[in-house]
Structure 1
Amino acid sequence: MRLLAGLLVVVAAVVSLGLWVNHSLDSAAKMMDQNIKQITEEINRSNWDEAYNQTVALEKTWNQKEKWWPIVLEHQEMDNIKFSMAKAKEYVKSRDKVLSLGQLSELKLMIMHLPEKEAVNLKNIL
């Protein structure tokens, strides 16, 4: 009976940790999604200085949030996001509307894919 109780506690802890990680990833991704939307709006208004400032703020947010993510995420995926963010920052800096918007769109998809990929659900378990 003790063994069963111990196993139930371990399973509950693993599921709870998974749900917490998913919630944390989802809230961080939504925050960064809002930043990307603001950058896109500033670019569409041709307000390049503010768009660049927002891009720097997005990069700072990413650097704060990604510190613990290597524990639960693939390093390759995180590297791809860093590379995409660097490209977007330079495109905004050079005031290239088409490349900036394209790179921001790609960045948004990569960031929003993270919580979906790491969600605790039957699809990801099997």
Structure 2
Amino acid sequence: MRNVVIAVVIFLVMIIAMLFSLSYLNNVSSTLQRVNDELEQFISDDQWDKAYKSAMEYTHRWEYHSKIIKIFVNHQEIDNVEMELWKLPQYVKEKTKDEALASVHALKFLLSHISKLEKINLQNIF
């Protein structure tokens, strides 16, 4: 009987941890997507100073949140986001509009891809 109770408690803790991680990932993803959209608008409007500040804000937010996200997300996906984030401020700093926009779109895709990979659905279970 005691083994069953322990197993049920462990199962419930795992479910709660999964729900917490999904909620956290969705909140971070939506926050970063807003910064991403703002950054894209600044780049499109050739507002390079605002774009650089926004790119640096994006980088700092990612560094803060990635410490927790790394616990439950595939590291390959994290590495892809970080590679683009290292490039983005330099593209903006050098006012390379096409490369900066490409990097912003890549980050948009990577963040949505991470969210899709972590959702609970039959495709991700099997």
TM-score, length basis structure 1: 0.92
Which residue number corresponds to residue 3 of structure 2? 3
Supply the RMSD in Å over aligned alpha carbons: 1.3
**Identity rate, percent:** 25
Aligned positions of 1:81-100 closer than 5 A: 81-100=81-100
Comparing 116-125 and 63-72, the one that deviates more: 116-125
CA shift for structure 1 position 100? 0.9
The number of residues matched between the two structures is 126
Q: Within 2, Cα distance between the matches of 1:28 and 1:74?
A: 16
The structural deviation recorded for 1:82 is: 0.8
Deviation track 1:24-67 (CA, whole Å, cap 9, x = no partner) reads 01100110100010001111111011001000000000010011
Shift of 1:122: 2.8
Q: Determine the C-alpha separation between the residues in 1 that align with 2:110 and 2:54.
A: 18
Matched, 1:65 2:65: yes
| Unaligned residue ranges in structure 1 (runs of 5+) | none
1:114 equivalent to 2:81? Answer no
* Unmatched 5+ stretches in structure 2: none
Q: TM-score scaled to structure 2, two decimals?
A: 0.92
Relative contact order higher in (CA < 8 Å, ≥ 6 apart): 1
